[in-house]
Amino acid sequence: MTTRTVRSFKPSWRETTIGTAAFFGVWYFVALIGIAPAKFFPMPHEVLAKLFALTHTQFAGATLQMHLLSSLHRYAMGFLLAIVIGLPLGLLMGRFRWLDVVVTPLFDALRFIAPVAWVPFAALWFGTGIGGPTLIIFAGAFPPILINAYRGARGVDPRYLEAASMLGIGSFKTITDVLFPAAIPSIIAGLRVGAGLGWMSLVGAELIAANRGVGYLIVKGQSAVDTPIVMAGMIAIGAVGVVIDVVLRKLEKHLLRHRKS
């Protein structure tokens, strides 16, 4: 994989500060001139105060931490399921042509269906507690994980496979000891995309069918017409998304530490 040079401006602290100040400045300005009633357009510090208040007062049946915990629980289940199925399947499809021929048409037929469109079936089959949302997260995270494992396996230098077969290494061992390590960069890229889509699908699932979680929190904030709660919930959702990406980036660095760029 060749990467083209991306020229980037050196970020100067002064300009970043001005930009950040401009963002909050515009926010305050819009709130203060009163285009919309204050109830619908709270000021940044009010949202932050609400975010803090949510950590020790209950809303929609739980504190913010409890909602987050319940979301993360579902998320972990769905994401792990997507890895457990998507990763081996992708590698196997890259290795065995017949599996590729069988799975690809089915996969192509399903992947244009937006993950949230699975919500009604998910609720019907597994309920709205843990099982239903887990299926939605799976539907969001699975395609990129599968595709990237597949591409990684297809991209392996054929000489390695020839060497493995010459050395008499069996199919299973070829996959675990040759294909998998060689495909790791692509797999990690897939995990990162899948993690992001999975998190977004989780929010979607919780907006529509759930009784706890951050998505449920903001939808309850919406029915109470409490804009600060909605915005505070959005911040929490965004922050968790960032944390997930940072963790995966660290993992990527760790796993790829021996490779030359």
Partner 1 sequence: MKLKSTIGVASTLAVLVGAMIVWYTVTAATGWVSPARFPHPAETWQSFVAIATNGYGNGKLHQHVLNSLKLVAMGFGVAVLVGVPLGLLMGYSRKAEALLNPAFLLLRPIPPLAWIPLAIVWLGLEDASKVLVIFVAAFVPSVINSYAGVRQIEAPILEAADMLGIRGLTFVREVLVPGSLPSIFTGLRLSLQASWTTLVAAELIGALYGLGSILNQAAQDIYPAMILVAMIFVGLCGASTTWLLGELERRAMPWRRQWGAQ
What residue ranges bind partner 1 (CB under 8 A)?
Answer: 4-9, 11-12, 15-16, 18-20, 22-23, 36, 40, 100-102, 104-110, 112-121, 123-125, 147, 150, 196, 199-200, 203-204, 207-208, 215, 218-219, 221-222, 225, 227, 230-231, 233-235, 237-239, 241-242, 245
Which residue, 224 or 256, is less far from partner 1 as judged by CB? 224
**Shortest Cβ distance from residue 2 to partner 1 (Å)?**
12
Which residue, 185 or 241, is less far from partner 1 as judged by CB? 241
Token digits for 151? 């591409």
CA distance 60 to 216: 8
Which residue, 128 or 164, is less far from partner 1 as judged by CB? 128
**Shortest Cβ distance from residue 234 to partner 1 (Å)?**
5
CA distance 29 to 25: 6
Exposure string (b/e) for 26-65, b if CB count within 10 Å is 16 or more? eeeeebeeeeeeeeebbbeebbeebbeebeeeebbebbbe
CA distance 71 to 215: 8
Which residue, 152 or 164, is less far from partner 1 as judged by CB? 152
DSSP string, 36-87: S-TTTS--HHHHHHHHHHHTTS-BTTB-HHHHHHHHHHHHHHHHHHHHHHHH
**Shortest Cβ distance from residue 98 to partner 1 (Å)?**
9
Contact 148, 197 (CB under 8 A): no
Which residue, 164 or 240, is less far from partner 1 as judged by CB? 240
Who contacts 99 (Cβ-Cβ below 8 Å, separation ≥6)?
89, 92, 93
> What are the angstrom distances between the C-alpha of 115 and each of 87, 205, 211?
19, 9, 19
Which residue, 164 or 189, is less far from partner 1 as judged by CB? 189
Helix (H, G, I), strand (E, B) or coil at 227: helix
Token digits for 156? 């392996």
Which residue, 163 or 224, is less far from partner 1 as judged by CB? 224
**Shortest Cβ distance from residue 46 to partner 1 (Å)?**
15
**Shortest Cβ distance from residue 136 to partner 1 (Å)?**
10
